[in-house]
Structure 1
Amino acid sequence: MSQSLPLPCTAAADGPARSVPSGTGTLVATTIGSSLAFVLGSIVNVALPQMQAAFDAGATGAQWIVNAYLLPLGALVLIGGALGDHYGRRRVFQIGLLIFTASCALAAVASSFPVFLAARALEGVGAALIAPTSLAIIADAFTGPARGRAVGTWAGAGAAAGALAPVAGGWIVDAAGWRWAFVAVIPFAVLAFVVAARAIRESVAETDDRAPLDLVGAALVGTGLLALIWGLVALPDRGTTGAVMAALGGGAALLAGFVAVEARKGDRAMTPLRLFRDASFSGLTGFTFLLYAALGGLMLILPYVLISDQGYSATQAGLALLPFPLILGVLSRFTGGPLADRYGARLLLTVGATLVAGGFAWFGLVPAEGVSYTADILPPLVVLALGMSLSVAPLTSAVLSSAGDRYAGVASGINNAISRIGGLVATALLGLVLLGGDLMAGFALAAWTGAALALGSAAVAWLTVRPA
């Protein structure tokens, strides 16, 4: 998923700070806090079959375990950054940590499925407050080359956490059960909160540079996505009933209302529509949605298939996925610099997405029986990682370049939200796979769908992104 988050203009808050600012402490707190969202997502992927069985949730329930978290995160990540700009980034960051900690505790002790889903939704709300403010805090605390090193450390630590989380989470799930996976992240959230209270200087944005506090837009996009996703999840099971069609139509109408409101607000909108007048930015938005929809579906269904159909333990499934984040984390720093400077984002995005499509197509050829990890799973996973390595960092640079300095922060935030919404929609559509009787046949169908989406993103990049 895209790690590009807003870097808005900052200024120290008025009045004496209650903390003693510390660059090291600031980096520790923000890195731990922002990593929590990625860690929890990776853990849930390998724990999903156990959670589904514990609540007798069925295929639809498995989708909602994931989407209950992604929905508020995708819908509220932009407003979370705006709240930090207006009311104090450290304050909003700490509130997000409190919500995240309490919701993890609630998920760990949830006795019913509705309570568990409510806890997952609150985790998404907390993450939507943590993610954008963490990078804005770094931008305020560091300047010049030190800021670049701090952001690199922040991103690298997040990649490392994402790599270790499936393995550590899988071990916890196998050894103690899925509830302890939620308990395990609580001490880290508490640590981030305590360090933030002591080390982070409070800051807000200058009045003219604050991200818009677009509550109407946030409400419309949130409720619209909820209705649309509910309709997509229910469609395979219920068919085209009145409730399903009303949800799909109502969701589309609410999202259309969101567009109308944003157009009326102009530059004070949460999503300034003037950005989409630029063909490159519009193309990059489409590229992000298609590519991350493909990837989001795979990263959910692959561990599910390995555990439910191939007999892997949660730990083994986590180890099986490990090459993907390792390759992505190591190579992205090079593709975002020397290669992007030499060949340009257009070529790298096109080649990267084409490689991703090739990896998906390879997964589509996985046999129904006698699956070998070294022959059938590892090679396409490596190809996928190589393709994403060519795409992630150049995508961030291209988004910022297409938006210009004035809109760089909000454009980066929009791109981040779109990547999460792409994964959200993909998860909603996985009911077509999970409700089928043959899981491996459904996996192949999902893989070929992913290949088509990735090829579509490659075509969008080639046709719309400005050449170097």
Structure 2
Amino acid sequence: MTDTRAPQTTAAPVFHPGFCAERSRPYILVAAVLASALGIIDGTVVAIALPAMRDSLGAGLVQAQWIHNAYMLTLAALILVGGAMGDRFGLGRVFGLGIALFVVASMFCALAPTPLFMIVARAVQGVGAAIMVPGSLALIARAYPRESRGRAIGIWASATAVTTAAGPIIGGLTLTIGGPEMWRWIFAINLPLGALALFLLYRHLGDDPAKENARVDIPGALTATAALLAIAWGLTSLDHGGNATMWLIVGAMMLVAFLWTQTRSDHPMMPLTLFASRPFSAANALTFTLYSALSMMFFFMPMTFIAGWGLSEIAASAAFAPMSVFISLLSARAGKLADRIGPAPLLIGGSLVVATGYAAMAILASYQNFWGHILPAMCLVGLGMAAVVAPLSTSIMAAVDETQSGTASGINNAVTRMAGLISVAAVGGFVAALYAGAGGTASFGIESDTAGHGAAMTTAFTGLAWIATTLAVISAGLGWLTRRVNEN
């Protein structure tokens, strides 16, 4: 999944003069940018590379889902803990640990001989990202005083936007020119990038204070991970056997256990009292539904276009471009407009524009015209998301007390990741059933010259696009609920 929002920390780090010398601040900024680039490139390029990875590893559709899900599972479950670890053990040290773990796991991904090996390596990669991602923006806040922090964050945000736009293009170009096995180099490139980030960090890091009284919610992390694992496994197994019902029951029980730990802990990773606010709950529900639609479409689109329609990887990567371009150009303006009129109108309108884009894809997919039909529809999706991203953050921040803004932002960030995990796990069986029902005799997402393969993949993609349309319409309804009392 392409995460269209900036990573957020669950804490609110403040400037610390001894964290790094003034002359070292640009190097710390570069380290933060490189770490963000690692996570962004990895997320976007894996979607483009999945058809080649499946062919190389001999992976089925369920295994392809878990190449995605294993990463999202550990990232979603542990990202809130990652922010707390930075407070407890030192922001720079924990940030560096996350980068190192991410890079080592990336090397194992590059060398993966089997689907299971890749899935395990991706899970470890997600752990590294959960430790690394919350620290990226926090690192800048700790290194730069308030008067120069805005410019530094602007540079970081601009670099993140460029990376988001360039990632799929670079990956698609690499695979198109270099051949299917070049997907391994997509992971291997993380080694020099990560090594440079670590060198800059430790070369220029000064005093890295730790808070002895800070606590990490270990019971919450364990029960959250177990709940998400069981639920995702159960959803993935619904149409493939594997005791799906049992796993879903176990997941529900572990979810109850997680909620219980949050009520008993004096340092919960997800304070449940925040959800007493209707706008906060509605904004997070909107996040889940809208990013679920985005995640499932971004996961299955490249497989459809490459393995079903015969597009090259570089051509398929163009589907990601409108999202990055429109968000980069328009999200700041949408944020300013939300400050004037409130976020709800933009959340409603933006979600409906996204729904229109998905509906256009569903209606026109049978023509298999990527440039004339799909890309313009993705422009609508990108335009709608650009209207939503900043107002959604505004809605989250406005719904809670200012002292809880960091925690609220971290929760919303985790919800985004959970949406990516749950949605891809939930629809895989549905897509496979549609493919088989339309006469497909190979497997959704792999290249095949069997009769009717491309048409069957298109039928399955059409059904998926209608699900995404429905989720986006639901998001518009949830946008109405984000109104504060004084807006009613």
Give the TM-score taking structure 1 as reference length: 0.93
CA distance in 2, matches of 1:145, 1:402: 27
Of 442, 454, 457, the residue aligned with 2:472 is 454
Of 31, 34, 42, the residue aligned with 2:33 is 31
Rate the CA distance shift 1:366–1:142 in 2: closer, same or farther, 3 A: same
* Structure 2 equivalent of residue 415 of structure 1: 412
- The alignment covers a number of residue pairs equal to 459
| Amino acid corresponding to residue 238 of structure 2 in structure 1 | L
Contact 1:12 1:203 in 2 (8 A): no
Contact 1:49 1:304 in 2 (8 A): yes
Unaligned runs of 5+ in 1: none
Instruction: Select between 185-194 and 414-423 the one with higher mean Cα deviation.
Output: 185-194
Contact 2:15 2:145 in 1 (8 A): no
The answer as to 2:282 corresponding to 1:259 is no
* Structure 1 equivalent of residue 150 of structure 2: 148
Contact 2:11 2:83 in 1 (8 A): no
Contact 1:21 1:200 in 2 (8 A): no
| Amino acid corresponding to residue 196 of structure 1 in structure 2 | L
CA distance in 2, matches of 1:342, 1:19: 39
1:133 Cα shift? 1.0
CA distance in 2, matches of 1:387, 1:21: 41
SS of the aligned residue for 1:322 comes to helix
Of 384, 403, 407, the residue aligned with 1:406 is 403
CA distance in 2, matches of 1:247, 1:19: 52
| Amino acid corresponding to residue 9 of structure 2 in structure 1 | P
CA distance in 1, matches of 2:117, 2:7: 32
Of 339, 348, 351, the residue aligned with 1:350 is 348
SS of the aligned residue for 1:114 comes to helix
* Structure 2 equivalent of residue 219 of structure 1: 222
The answer as to 2:248 corresponding to 1:248 is yes
* Structure 2 equivalent of residue 3 of structure 1: 6
1:260 Cα shift? 1.1
CA distance in 2, matches of 1:405, 1:60: 43
The answer as to 2:399 corresponding to 1:392 is no
CA distance in 1, matches of 2:302, 2:397: 34
Q: Deviations over 1:315-358 (max 9, x none)?
A: 11113432221122221122122x12222111111111111111
CA distance in 1, matches of 2:71, 2:13: 29
Contact 1:349 1:390 in 2 (8 A): yes
CA distance in 1, matches of 2:398, 2:372: 40
Query: Equivalent pairs: percent with the same residue?
Result: 36
* Structure 2 equivalent of residue 374 of structure 1: 371
1:144 Cα shift? 2.2
Instruction: Select between 251-260 and 318-327 the one with higher mean Cα deviation.
Output: 318-327
Rate the CA distance shift 1:366–1:200 in 2: closer, same or farther, 3 A: farther
Rate the CA distance shift 1:51–1:180 in 2: closer, same or farther, 3 A: same
Q: Deviations over 1:350-379 (max 9, x none)?
A: 1111111111111111242x4222321112
Q: Deviations over 1:281-328 (max 9, x none)?
A: 111110111110011111111111110111011111113432221122
* Structure 2 equivalent of residue 228 of structure 1: 231
Matches within 5 A, 1:35-434: 35-176=37-178, 177-204=182-209, 210=214, 212-238=215-241, 243-265=243-265, 268-337=267-336, 339-368=337-366, 370-431=367-428, 432-434=430-432
CA distance in 2, matches of 1:345, 1:201: 40
Rate the CA distance shift 1:322–1:353 in 2: closer, same or farther, 3 A: same
CA distance in 1, matches of 2:209, 2:392: 28
Contact 2:326 2:386 in 1 (8 A): yes
CA distance in 1, matches of 2:93, 2:404: 25
Matches within 5 A, 1:431-446: 431=428, 432-434=430-432, 436=435, 437=440, 438-446=456-464
1:149 Cα shift? 2.0
| Amino acid corresponding to residue 147 of structure 1 in structure 2 | R
CA distance in 1, matches of 2:43, 2:277: 33
Let me know the Cα RMSD of the aligned residues. Answer: 2.0
| Amino acid corresponding to residue 330 of structure 1 in structure 2 | L
Unaligned runs of 5+ in 2: 441-455
| Amino acid corresponding to residue 232 of structure 2 in structure 1 | I
CA distance in 2, matches of 1:397, 1:245: 39
| Amino acid corresponding to residue 378 of structure 1 in structure 2 | L
Rate the CA distance shift 1:4–1:394 in 2: closer, same or farther, 3 A: farther
1:202 Cα shift? 4.4
Rate the CA distance shift 1:194–1:96 in 2: closer, same or farther, 3 A: same
1:410 Cα shift? 0.7
Contact 2:20 2:143 in 1 (8 A): no
CA distance in 2, matches of 1:335, 1:17: 34
1:173 Cα shift? 2.1
CA distance in 2, matches of 1:167, 1:316: 9
SS of the aligned residue for 2:240 comes to helix
Rate the CA distance shift 1:120–1:7 in 2: closer, same or farther, 3 A: closer
Rate the CA distance shift 1:19–1:37 in 2: closer, same or farther, 3 A: same
CA distance in 2, matches of 1:316, 1:126: 31
Instruction: Select between 285-294 and 184-193 the one with higher mean Cα deviation.
Output: 184-193
Contact 1:4 1:396 in 2 (8 A): no
CA distance in 2, matches of 1:403, 1:260: 22
CA distance in 1, matches of 2:175, 2:184: 8
Contact 2:90 2:211 in 1 (8 A): no
1:12 Cα shift? 7.5
